[in-house]
Amino acid sequence: MQVELRHIHKHFGAVHASNDINLTIPAGSIQGILGENGAGKSTLMKALSGFIFADSGEILLDGKPVHIASPADAINHGVGMLHQDPLDFPPMKVIDNFILGRNGGLFPDRRTAAKEFKELAVQFDFSIDPDAYVDMLTVGERQQLEILRLLWLGARALILDEPTTGISLPQKEKLFATLKKLAAQGMTIIFVSHKLEDVEFLCNRVAVLRQGQLVGEMLPPFNVDKLVEMMFGKVVSFGGRYPLTPGASTLHLEHISLEDVRLQIRDVTLDVRAGEVIGLAGMEGSGQATFLQACAGLVRPVAGKLSIKGADVTGQTHHVFKHKGVAYLPAARLEQGLVPGLSLTEHFVLAEETHGIFINRDQAIRLAQDRIKTFNIKGTPVSTVESLSGGNQQRALLALLRTPLSLILLEHPTRGLDIESTMYIWSKLKERCAQDGAAIIFISADLDEVLQYSDRVLVFFTGKVSSPLDAEKVTVEQLGQLIGGKGWEAIHA
Amino acid sequence: MTPETILIGLAGVLAAAAPVMFAVMGETISERAGIINLSMNGTILLSAMGSFAVALATDSLALGFLAGAAIGALVSLIVAFASITLKISQVATGFILALLCRDLSYFLGNPIMGQTGPRLQSAPIPGLSDIPVLGKLFFSQDVMTYASFTIILLAWVYIYKTRPGLMLQGIGERPAAAFVRGASVNRLRYLYTIIGGALIGLAGPIYSLSVKAGWKGTISGLDGIGWIALSITIFGGWNPLRAAFGAYLFAILQWLGLVLQPVLPGIPSNVLQVAPFPLMILTLLLVNIGNAEWVERTLAGMPENTRRAVAKILRAMRATPPASLGVPFESD
Ligand SMILES: Nc1ncnc2c1ncn2[C@@H]1O[C@H](COP(=O)(O)OP(=O)(O)OP(=O)(O)O)[C@@H](O)[C@H]1O
Ligand SMILES: [Mg+2]
C-alpha cells in the first residue's frame, strides 16, 4: 500500500513537532525514519496511526485521502503500528491477546484462531505457544505476537517505532528477515530508529527529521556521515575508548549464588574496582538483571558474601546499599525511576537529601534550572516527566543521581537514545568514574555499546556467568556467539 | 444434629450467601473494568432500606427489587462520574459515599422502622425439588437464590469466554492497549461500573425483602457486609468462580458459628461469632502465599520437576489485581 503524507503540521504548545512534512512511501518498500531524540519521529508516526491528530495536512493511502480517527480506525484502513513497548496484556494468554480487538460473534472461536495463529507464525519461523501467558515471553516474542496480530487484522502498512532497542541479536535478525519478507509481499514498512547500521542494513529509502522538519531523503547506497550530519545538523565525531586507571576495590563478590523462579546463578566471584566499568551481556532474561539487582541489594543472594568498600553487606536491604553509595537505575524509566505527573523540579527535590519538611520553592527551581542546563535536558522545570521525549527522560534520570557515588548500576542506560545523547550520557558517566572514582555495572542489549564503554565484560547465558573478559580483546562476533550459548569452552580454558 | 437439620442448614447457607454473591459479582465486574466501587457497604444499606420502602408503599416485590438495583446503579454512577470524568481518587469518593449512604439509610429509614412488609417466598422447582438431598439444597430456594447461582456462571462465562468479556479484562488491565484495539475505554468503564453497581444494589432487597426481611435501622445487622464482600472480591482474585467459593465459605463459617455454639459450651459465643472474620483473613493469606519472596526462594531450591509443578499450582492460585485498577485513562 502506498502511503503519502502531505503538509503535516503538529504543535504541542510552543513546540512545532511536525513542520510541513511531505513524504511518499511506495508499496513494498522499507522506509527508514531517522532523527535525534525529540526530532518528531514518534509524533509523525502517531499522526499516521491515529493516536493523535495533525493540526493540518493530509494522509493518502493508495492515492485516496483518508481520515484516520483512532488507532483502531487506522488498522481498518490497513495501517498497523508496533509500539516500542508492545501494547499487549501481559497476564493474559497469547491466544486471547491475539483475538482481542478482532470483531466477530459473542463467543470467539479460540481453536480456529489458534490454528490461524500457528499458520501465520510458521510463515515467519516464529515459535510461540498460543497457550502461553504473555508475561512469560521476551520482548522480542511479544513483538512477534503483535506483528502476527496486525497481519491477521489485515495490515498492509506496518509502522515500527524503535523496534530493536529491547531485543536480542538473534531476535533482531529474525525481525529483519520477517520485515524483508513482508516488503517483498508488497507490505509497506516504516522503520523508525536511531541505529544507523540497522537502517543501512534494512531500509531501501531513508528520511531524516530534525526539529520537526524533513531535512532530506536518501536512497542506497547510504552515505552514513552525510546522514549523521543531516540528523544533528553538524558533524558528530565518535569518541574513542576511555583509558582506565582502576582504584581500590569498590564491590567485592565472593562465591555469590542467586536464585529466582526461572534460573539459578552459581558461584560468582568478582572484584570491581573504583573507576571501572563492567558490562553485562546476554539475551534478555539470562540472569543479568537478577545479578544487577543483587548488587543493588534488591535480591538477596542464597549463598556467598558481598561487600562494598570492604564492609560486609550480605543480606542487607537496598536502603543500606544506598547509604554506602550504590545507585540503581532500572530499565523501566517511567515505571520505576520517574514518577509520572510530577515535574522535573519536584523530582530533583525528592532526590535530594532534605533537612526539614518544607520545600523551598525558589531554591528548588534554581536547582532544577541548573541541572536542566548541565544535563542538556530539553524541557523546563515545570515539565512533567511523561511529556519529555525518551532521550530526555533518560537524561533526567541521570541528573537525579546524587554525588558522590561509589557504585552506579544501570539497566539499558541508553536504550532509545540517539547517538549524540548516548555519547553525552556516557561522557557524564565516565566523568563520574574519573572524578569521584565511581564504578559502573551496566546491562545493555547493544553489544557495540558493551564493548565500547566497558573495561571488562561478563556474559550471561541461562544463568551461566562467564569469567570477566577484557573488553579490548573480545570482538562483537565472539560476544554474539557467547550470548547464544556457543563457544563457552574456549573462554573457560 | 441429624442429617436433616444439616441439610436444612446448608440450604440456608446457600440462601444467606445470595446477597453477598450479588455484591461480590457486581464488585468483580466493576473492578475488572478498572473502577473500585468502595461505596458498597453504604449502597447495600441504602438499597435495603429504599427497596423495602418501595415494596411497602407499592406492595410489589418486583418494584422493590427494581428500586434496589436502581439505587445501586445511581450510587455507582456517582462513583463513575467522579473517577472517570473528574478523575478524583476512587478510594476517597467511594469511602465518602459509603459513609454518606449508610447515614442516609438510617436517617431516611426512620419512618418505616420495624414495619412488616412483603417478603419473597421460596419457590421449589416442581420435579427437581423432589430429588433427594440436591432437591432440598438447590431446588427448594427462592427466586433470588436461584438467580445468585446463575449470576456466578453468567459472570464467569462472560468474563472468560465472550469477546466483550475479553475486552472487559483488557480495559482494566491495560486501557491503552484496549484503546488501540478499538475499545471506547471510558464509555465501557461507565457501563460496567453501573452494571456492577446495579448488582451490588440488588444485595439490599435480597436482605430486606427476603433473608433478613424488614428494616430495623442500626440493628438490621447489615453494616459491614459490604466490606466483607469487598474482601471476598479480592480473595476471589477477580474471578467469579473463586469469589463464589469465598462467599460460600464465609456463609458456612457464619453458620458454623451459630450451630457450634450449643455443642461447644466452653467457647464464649462472641468468639464463635467473630471467628469467621480472622478465618477469612487466614484463607486470604494462604491463597496469596505464592507472592511471597521466601516461597519463591524455597521453590528455586526444589528439583526441576517438583518446582515446575508447584510453581504451576501457585500461579493458578495467585491473584493479581487488574493492573490498571484505580488508574484513570486518558487517550493521548
Ligand atoms: N504529548 C506531548 N505533549 C507535549 N510535548 C510533546 C508531546 N509529545 C511530544 N512532545 C514534544 O514533541 C517533540 C517531538 O517528540 P517525539 O516524541 O515525536 O520525538 P522523537 O523523535 O520520537 O524522539 P525520541 O527519539 O526521543 O523518541 C519533543 O520536543 C517532545 O517533547
Ligand atoms: Mg520516539
Neighbour-count burial of B111, counting CB atoms closer than 10 A to its CB (0-12 exposed, 13-18 middle, 19+ buried)? exposed
pLDDT of residue A331: 75
Write out chain A residues lying below 8 Å of B158, CB-based: none
Distance CA(B23)–CA(B232), nearest Å, equals 10
A246 against A4, higher pLDDT: A4
Three cell numbers, residue A334: 517511567
Mean pLDDT of A175-204: 92
Mean pLDDT of A312-340: 83
User: How many other C-beta atoms can be found within 10 angstroms of the C-beta atom of residue A224?
Assistant: 12
Distance CA(A426)–CA(A422), nearest Å, equals 6
For residue B332, pLDDT over 60 is answered with no
Distance CA(A21)–CA(A7), nearest Å, equals 5
B111: nearest Cα among B52, B63, B71, B170? B52
Domain A249-491 is found in CATH 3.30.310.10: no
Cα separation values, B119 from B53, B65, B209, Å? 12, 11, 5
Inter-chain touch A261–B167, beta carbons under 8 Å: no
pLDDT of residue B207: 96
pLDDT digits (tens, 9 = 90+) for B55-82: 999 999 999 999 999 999 999 999 999 9
Cell 477477580 locates to: B238
Mean pLDDT of B286-301: 66
Inter-chain touch B320–A104, beta carbons under 8 Å: no
Closest by Cβ to A72, choosing from B174, B182, B299: B182
pLDDT of residue B112: 93
Write out chain A residues lying below 8 Å of B299, CB-based: 261
Inter-chain touch A106–B180, beta carbons under 8 Å: no
pLDDT of residue A378: 82
For residue B313, pLDDT over 80 is answered with no
Distance CA(B145)–CA(A37), nearest Å, equals 61
pLDDT of residue A237: 65
A249-491 and A3-232 share a CATH fold = yes
| pLDDT interval class at A245 (50, 70, 90) | confident
Comparing A122-131, A248-257, A480-489, B41-50, which segment has the lowest mean pLDDT? A480-489
Domain A3-232 is found in CATH 3.40.50.300: yes
| pLDDT interval class at A356 (50, 70, 90) | low
| pLDDT interval class at A335 (50, 70, 90) | low
pLDDT digits (tens, 9 = 90+) for B103-142: 999 999 999 999 998 999 999 999 898 898 899 889 999 9
How close, in Å, is residue A49 to chain B by CA atoms?
10
For residue A87, pLDDT over 60 is answered with yes
A431 against A307, higher pLDDT: A307
How close, in Å, is residue A258 to chain B by CA atoms?
9
Per the prediction, chain B carries an average pLDDT of: 89
Inter-chain touch B180–A87, beta carbons under 8 Å: yes
- pTM, to two decimals: 0.81
Cα separation values, B222 from B44, B87, B205, B212, B225, Å? 8, 30, 11, 9, 6
Write out chain B residues lying below 8 Å of A52, CB-based: 332
Domain boundaries, chain A: 3-232, 249-491
Q: Which of A8, A11, A12 to mutate to test ligand 1, by most ligand atoms within 8 A of the CB atom?
A: A12
pLDDT of residue A299: 87
Rg (CA), chain B: 21
Comparing A136-150, A187-201, A296-310, B290-304, which segment has the lowest mean pLDDT? B290-304
pLDDT of residue B24: 97
Neighbour-count burial of A47, counting CB atoms closer than 10 A to its CB (0-12 exposed, 13-18 middle, 19+ buried)? buried
Starting from the CA of residue A396, give the closest ligand: 1
* A21 backbone dihedrals φ, ψ, rounded to 5°: -85, 125
pLDDT of residue A60: 96
Residue A390 CA, closest ligand 1 atom number: 26
The residue of chain B with its CA nearest to that of A76 is: B182
> Which residues on adjacent β-strands are paired with residue A49?
none
| pLDDT interval class at A493 (50, 70, 90) | very low
* A485 backbone dihedrals φ, ψ, rounded to 5°: 90, 10
Considering only CA atoms, which residue is closest to atom 25 of ligand 1? A37
* B4 backbone dihedrals φ, ψ, rounded to 5°: -60, -45
Mean pLDDT of A104-113: 92
Ordered structural domains, chain B, with CATH:
3-274 (1.10.3470)
A105: left (phi over 0), alpha (psi -120 to 50) or beta: beta
Q: Chains A, B: CB contacts under 8 A, how many?
A: 75
pLDDT of residue B145: 96
Inter-chain touch A89–B169, beta carbons under 8 Å: yes
CB–CB of A261/B298 below 8 Å? no
How close, in Å, is residue A69 to chain B by CA atoms?
11
Inter-chain touch B163–A302, beta carbons under 8 Å: no
Write out chain A residues lying below 8 Å of B176, CB-based: 87
Residue A44 CA, closest ligand 1 atom number: 18
Mean pLDDT of A316-340: 82
* A88 backbone dihedrals φ, ψ, rounded to 5°: -130, -170
pLDDT of residue A95: 95
Three cell numbers, residue A88: 499487549
Considering only CA atoms, which residue is closest to atom 19 of ligand 1? A38
A91 cis-preceded (ω within 30 degrees of 0): no
Mean pLDDT of A58-81: 95
Comparing A30-34, B17-21, B47-51, B87-91, which segment has the lowest mean pLDDT? B87-91
B132 cis-preceded (ω within 30 degrees of 0): no
Degrees, nearest 5: CA angle B152-B153-B155: 70
The residue of chain B with its CA nearest to that of A133 is: B315
